[in-house]
Chains A and B, each alone.
Chain A
Amino acid sequence: MTLEVTLRHRLGDFAIDAAFRSDGGLTALFGRSGAGKTTLVNVIGGLIRPQWARISVDGRPLVDSDRGIFLPPHRRRLGYVFQEGRLFPHLTVRQNLLYGRWFAPAVSRKADIGRVVEMLGIGDILERSPGRLSGGEKQRVAIGRALLAGPQILLMDEPLASLDDARKAEILPYIERLRDEARVPIVYVSHSVAEVARLATTVVLLEDGKVVATGPVSEVMARAELYPAADRAEASAILEARIEGHDSADGVTRLASEAGLFRVPLIADPVGSHVRLRVRARDVMLALHRPEGISALNLLPGTVETLGGDEGPVANLRLRCGQATLVAQVTRKSIRDLGLAPGRAVFAVVKSVTFEPRGMGHFGDDAPNGGFGGDTPNGGSGGDTPSGGARS
């Protein structure tokens, strides 16, 4: 499934001139508010008629201004999950879910309501009316409703923005399941680094209506220069890891990643399952020699790749560790004192790893904090899960 989008659109002073392509998975349209993300996704969904655009799904044109094609929304077969849910108040949850099926062509009705209901955990609220649902439940129903219309692509416009952190944490795993199990390509609008780091396969970074970067999530998220100055420290390495084993005596779980082996406090997911790690630049220290007598569990040998930009007192270094790239936030003074330069061998001391296994919860590498669920995969550490992470 390939979505291709090229768009030129002007609204008063604001102009969008953007192009991107998605080949399945979850494509995050990422950027600050006002960057044009929602306009872009509304154009794809057919809610805004663009001045000039060419949009196609697997070669089927949805919009082609040069050829005078503009399919109305109901003929695009795209599911749309809105920020505010937009459930029909006069229908029950079940009727809401089935609404789109009515209009879907017979071939796409294979989306099985039982499976979707089970996947989203909404079996108990089917007969309720939307007015009586919590924000998180509403959003799950909205996702199910869009999914059951048999869409070729699912558009999600900040689906978590109106929810508090606990509700966000409740929904994130469902979106992950959607990405991995439902196999519907997703275009996901967000301004949250944590959401994008956790969910995205591909990132399209937008700024003032223009695409400034696009690529696999691990690549885009590590490029510190793409972050606004205040958020540079949010630059992160995104690593896919596999649970290699549990040392229950020591209470640690070993995670194998491309950057090397990580040790984190014991988690409940079975050996062999996958987790996505996020290592933030500000959580990585550098040492010239293997440090001794240090509480951090995770020491990774690597080589300096680049020193990062040259403005400001702080730089984001890129390190090559194994097959992956880590970013580390270091002061200019340290760079000078340590004589850091490209090619220099160093040890990365990782103070904290943020990650979300299948269930939920976040874990530090050396400081078990209240709430990490050693024995409950769904153990709600709730709170600030999306961007959380224990610090040493």
Chain B
Amino acid sequence: MLDFLTDQELTAVKLSLRVAFWAMAASLPFGVFVAMLLARGRFWGKSLLNGLVHLPLILPPVVTGYLLLLLFGRRGPIGEFLDTNFGIVFAFRWTGAALACAVMGFPLLVRAIRLSIEAVDRRLEEAAGTLGANPGWIFLTVTLPLILPGIIAGMILAFAKAMGEFGATITFVSNIPGETQTLPSAIYTFTQVPGGDAGALRLTAISVVVSLGALIASEILARRVSRRIGAL
């Protein structure tokens, strides 16, 4: 079906999908947790956490990528620790690309989930408590189903962001075909070589289709969920 693509292009598309999926999936639990903290928590340093989460949105992506390189690179404090203790390496691997995309998409993910948490009628949670549910069960059986539309929206946003992330990724993990050359990096590469226009155009088309598809899918899912919730 994707015969019209060259091997290099196909690899870039597959890699991008894999990177975007893992960036979204791995950051989701953290995203829900941080959104809960920001929406409900009362603690010292809340504004600081909020600022930190939103930082990638404001910073130049190159700066974010460079900071990741400093922290998670082979010589970086976190990178070295993870490498020696768990054998996890981010530098110049596709996992690093996923990390960069996750960090860049995190503010969008948290923001969407946080808004939906703030919209939850807490009196419903109280009611669940009087019916015998402890806070953990209240979260799983009442809060989580009610914020599902927000979670879905956040996931789609994070996925779309990851598909298009360029600056932080290329700074952190470079542009290695087959390992870290994601779709945007591949497009960039094509535009830098003579006669690469056709490849760049093909990948651009795919990029548009994937993004549109993601948006439509999110729209349909969100509508189905909010219908089930019963139009509050």
Contact A78–B130 (Cβ < 8 Å)? yes
In the assembled complex, B230 has its CB within 8 A of some CB on chain A: yes
In the assembled complex, B41 has its CB within 8 A of some CB on chain A: no
> Complex: how many Å from CA A73 to CA B126?
8
Beta-carbon contacts under 8 Å, B67-109 to A: none
In the assembled complex, B129 has its CB within 8 A of some CB on chain A: yes
Contact B127–A82 (Cβ < 8 Å)? yes
CB-CB < 8 A to B230: which residues of A?
Answer: 89-90, 129-132
In the assembled complex, B48 has its CB within 8 A of some CB on chain A: no
> Contacting chain A: which of B132-140, B187-195, B215-223?
B132-140
Total A-B pairs, Cβ < 8 A: 74
- One digit per residue, 1 when the CB lies within 8 angstroms of any chain B CB and 0 when it does not, for chain A 84-105 equals 1010111000000001101110
Contact B127–A80 (Cβ < 8 Å)? yes
CB distance from A46 to the nearest CB of B (A): 8
For A150, the closest partner residue in chain B by CB is: B132
- One digit per residue, 1 when the CB lies within 8 angstroms of any chain A CB and 0 when it does not, for chain B 121-158 equals 10110111111111001000110011000000000000
Contact A90–B130 (Cβ < 8 Å)? no
Number of interface residues of B (CB under 8 A): 22
**A89-B229 CB under 8 A given contacts A74-B133, A104-B132:** yes
- One digit per residue, 1 when the CB lies within 8 angstroms of any chain B CB and 0 when it does not, for chain A 58-96 equals 000000000000001110111110101010111000000
CB-CB < 8 A to B127: which residues of A?
Answer: 80, 82, 86, 88
> Complex: how many Å from CA A11 to CA B141?
33
Our pick among A77, A78, A90 for the contact of B145 (Cβ within 8 Å) is A90
CB distance from B229 to the nearest CB of A (A): 5
CB-CB < 8 A to B231: which residues of A?
Answer: 131
Interface size class of A (residues with CB under 8 A): 20 to 34
In the assembled complex, B224 has its CB within 8 A of some CB on chain A: no
CB-CB < 8 A to B137: which residues of A?
Answer: 102-103
In the assembled complex, A149 has its CB within 8 A of some CB on chain B: yes
> Complex: how many Å from CA A84 to CA B127?
11
**A99-B131 CB under 8 A given contacts A73-B126, A84-B123, A86-B123:** yes
CB-CB < 8 A to A76: which residues of B?
Answer: 130
> Complex: how many Å from CA A374 to CA B141?
48
In the assembled complex, B232 has its CB within 8 A of some CB on chain A: yes
In the assembled complex, B46 has its CB within 8 A of some CB on chain A: no
> Complex: how many Å from CA A333 to CA B228?
67
Beta-carbon contacts under 8 Å, B157-207 to A: none
**A77-B132 CB under 8 A given contacts A47-B126, A84-B123, A86-B127:** yes
**A100-B131 CB under 8 A given contacts A84-B123, A86-B123:** yes
For B134, the closest partner residue in chain A by CB is: A74
CB distance from B231 to the nearest CB of A (A): 6
5 interchain residue pairs of minimum CB distance: A103-B132, A100-B131, A131-B230, A80-B130, A73-B129
Q: Name 11 interchain pairs, CB-CB below 8 A, sorted by A.
A: A73-B129, A74-B134, A78-B130, A80-B127, A80-B130, A82-B123, A88-B142, A89-B124, A89-B146, A90-B229, A102-B132
13 further A-B contacts with Cβ under 8 Å, apart from A47-B129, A90-B229, A100-B132, are: A46-B130, A73-B130, A74-B131, A84-B123, A86-B123, A86-B127, A88-B128, A88-B142, A89-B146, A89-B229, A90-B230, A145-B131, A149-B132
Binding site for A on B (CB under 8 A): 121, 123-124, 126-134, 137, 141-142, 145-146, 228-232
